[in-house]
Amino acid sequence: MVIDKKYLDPFILATERAAYGASLFKGKGDKIAADQSAVDEMRNQLNKINMKGTIVIGEGELDEAPMLYIGEEVGNKFGEELDIAVDPLEGTNFAAKNLPNALSVLAVTKKGNLLHAPDIYMEKIAIGAGFPDNLVDLDFDVQKNIERLANAKRISPKKITACVLKRPRHDQIVNSLNSLGVKINFITDGDVSGVISVADPKSNIDIYFGIGGGPEGVLAAAALSCLDCQMQTRLSFQNEDEKNRSRNMGIKDLNQKYNINDMVKGDVIFCATGVTDGDLVKGIKDQGDAFQAETYVLHKSSNTNKIIKNNIKK
Ligand code: VTB
């Protein structure tokens, strides 16, 4: 069962509008206001779409009215039953400080086809397309993963580039990469585009490593599932409360390793619109009565993989 192509444009408009909403607060130092503006614009557009939509990855876990919360119903209550993962403003710090790589992101599947990940940390490892299945694994140490990848690419580990979110929790990974002579491309935030960079030959990133947000992990998996890349994740719990919340969301095996097909099943649409200029897409450009938005669009069943530029009336 595929998602009809007619859904592409209205979902693209949802991230375009959200990115525009966030862009109004670019560089104003208020990440909460930027996020709320993105949420309001995205919700408004989602509710115009002819669908019975449910937010399964959102910004709050309960009935947190101002945010697009998990379980919130969106759409006009007609049309297909769809599950939606949203990150109306991915990289709130980037937007607040007017730094590159702030995005507005969503992914859509048929009902029941997206992992309901709680908003907790997730371990992630990802590589590009064209490698044997299960080449890398979260249970291998860094050295083994790098050596297996280097062997498959027939290059030395010293020619590998890894992308890592700059956080103290990754010191051990970084030390291991340094001792192997691997080049590291640090990002300060925004691991959705960090993970997706493994799919882009122009990025020169061979592998993504580290712990970031669970929702961001599922969103990145949605993109990589359209790009035939590999990704493995595992929830990373900080306390008992997080374990209980996960059980309540239906997660039975808390230590499960998820491959892309465990997170995203069947057909999927992925849209990412730039708020500020970034590696993936350019940011919102104000044109007076209108704004210009650039969006990275993927749709698995129609093999859509393109960057589109639209001018939209404010
Ligand atoms: C992660 C990452 C996101 O924020 O959630 C990060 O997945 C927050 O990490 O892409 P810390 O708790 O260590 O600050 C982002 O970088 C941006 O939302």
Q: In order of start, what are the domains of the chain with their CATH numbers? A: 5-113+267-313 (3.30.540.10), 121-263 (3.40.190.90)
Tens digit of each residue's pLDDT (9 = 90 or more) over 301-310: 999 999 999 9
**Cα pseudo-dihedral 208, 210, 216, 217, rounded to 10:** 70
Instruction: Tell me how far apart the alpha carbons of residues 206 and 31 are, in angstroms, rounded to a whole number.
Output: 31
- Which of 165, 166, 197, when mutated, tests ligand 1's pocket best, judged by the most ligand atoms within 8 Å of its CB? 165
Beta strands in 91-160 (DSSP E): 103-110, 121-127
**Cα pseudo-dihedral 184, 22, 308, 221, rounded to 10:** 50
Token pair of 35 as six digits: 């996020």
Tens digit of each residue's pLDDT (9 = 90 or more) over 35-44: 999 999 999 9
pTM over 0.75, yes/no: yes
Report the share of the chain in percent with pLDDT over 90: 93
Please give the pLDDT value at position 292.
Answer: 98
Report the share of the chain in percent with pLDDT over 70: 98
Cα separation values, 281 from 29, 264, 271, 294, Å: 22, 23, 11, 6
Confidence of residue 67 (pLDDT cuts 50, 70, 90): confident
- Which of 119, 173, 189, 219, when mutated, tests ligand 1's pocket best, judged by the most ligand atoms within 8 Å of its CB? 189
Paired with 154 in beta bridges are none
Ligand 1 closest atom vs CA 215: 7
Tens digit of each residue's pLDDT (9 = 90 or more) over 235-281: 999 999 999 999 998 899 999 999 999 999 999 999 999 999 999 99
Confidence of residue 63 (pLDDT cuts 50, 70, 90): low
How high is the mean pLDDT of the chain?
96
CB count in 10 Å sphere of residue 111: 14
